[in-house]
Amino acid sequence: MSMSRKMNETIGPLHSSPVIRRHPANPLLTPKDVPYGPAMVFNAGVAKYEGKYVMVFRNDYGDAEAETIEPAGTTNLGLAWSDDGVHWDVQASPVWSWNDEEVVRVYDPRLTVIGGRCYMCFAVDTKHGVRGGIAVTDDFRRFEVLSMSVPDNRNMVLFPERIGGKYVRLERPFPVYGRGGVDRFDTWLSDSPDLRYWGGSKLVLGVEDVPFANDKVGPGAPPVKTAKGWLTTFHAVDIDRSRGKNGWEPSWKKRYSAGIMLLDLDDPSRIAGMSKSPLLAPEAAYETSGGFRNDVIFPGGMILEPSGEVKIYYGAADTVECLATADVDDLLRLCL
């Protein structure tokens, strides 16, 4: 793909692909559905686990009417279960807060079931930088932390099986100095023999290769396996400095869309195909208005049903959690 596009050009209007359908029950989960009072419920990880759908979502606290948020420390993770992936039973209390001197908050959980156990990747703001962590749980009460990256890295997602004998993850380090002192963040891949020690890192997708990004790209939901390759969403960010106040946040100038790509089954660092336009761009009212940061779509869960329906769960406007669906063959056609 060409690198000729100037990264400081604005992107202009974006539209969602005609193959994607927003679920009529959207938003699936809002702060009102959560009994412990968050102001935002978003960026969830979702998996099928022991015959049910399980969701771990992010809660941030504040006052939407007063347009004030609480300090960064007041983020935690909530838990919900579902029989159909649409109607969710939210548990009475948050599932995990990490009490450690060094940890400021844990957020943006991503779930992958490997060999019957549920693994959770997450971002951790620490006093010395943003780290990416991986934990495993069998009951969603106790989480054993298996690995923590050095700063600055996050948006990690695990593939659902070993490839070439190794565990594999996608991730998005954010090399500020090395990329000219501005956001120019790309999607990478690393592998591990045991989920604890990571290496073999390779670049997968550079931001300049995504026509609807001029700021950064990174993983979305954990990939799903198809006969044609690993199908995976990614987040793509464009910035337009002329955007005014666009949410409760005083000055929010970015837009987050969801892209879709296909990675090679045997060498997932190789892109087998990618849609040149967004899969989901912010268009629905709950994506473009009334939120903490409007015009944000952040995919975090992707489930391929036996029928061929693909469920894509995403945070909208950093305030609610939503669902969109598509047919797997349509998604593959978009990529190829």
Least distance (Å) from ligand BMA to the CB of residue 185? 10
* Closer of 220 and 268 to ligand BMA (Cβ): 220
Collapsing DSSP to helix, strand or coil, 236 comes out as strand
> Kind and range of the H or E element at 325?
strand 320-327
Site size for ligand BMA (CB under 6 A): 8
| Of 167, 111, 147, 95, residue with least CA distance to 300 | 111
Site string for ligand BMA, 269-308 (x = CB under 6 A): ------------------------x--x-x----------
Q: Is 43 in the site for ligand BMA (CB under 6 A)?
A: yes
Cβ(96)–Cβ(111) below 8 Å: no
Least distance (Å) from ligand BMA to the CB of residue 235? 8
* Closer of 240 and 264 to ligand BMA (Cβ): 240
Q: Which of 47, 318, 331, 334 binds ligand BMA (CB under 6 A)?
A: 318
Contacts with ligand BMA in 107-136 (CB under 6 A)? 108
Q: Which of 174, 234, 256, 313 binds ligand BMA (CB under 6 A)?
A: 256
Q: Looking at the DSSP assignment, which residues form a beta bridge with residue 56?
A: 45, 79
Q: Is 233 in the site for ligand BMA (CB under 6 A)?
A: no
* Closer of 105 and 169 to ligand BMA (Cβ): 105
* Closer of 108 and 209 to ligand BMA (Cβ): 108
Give the integer Cα–Cα distance in Å for 66 and 71: 15
**266: phi then psi, degrees, rounded to nearest 5:** -90, -30
DSSP calls for 25-70: T-SSB-GGG-TT--SEEEEEEEEEETTEEEEEEEEE-EETTTTEE-
End-to-end CA distance of the chain: 14
Least distance (Å) from ligand BMA to the CB of residue 43? 5
> Which residues in this chain contact ligand BMA in the complex, by CB under 6 A?
43, 108, 256, 293, 296, 298, 315, 318
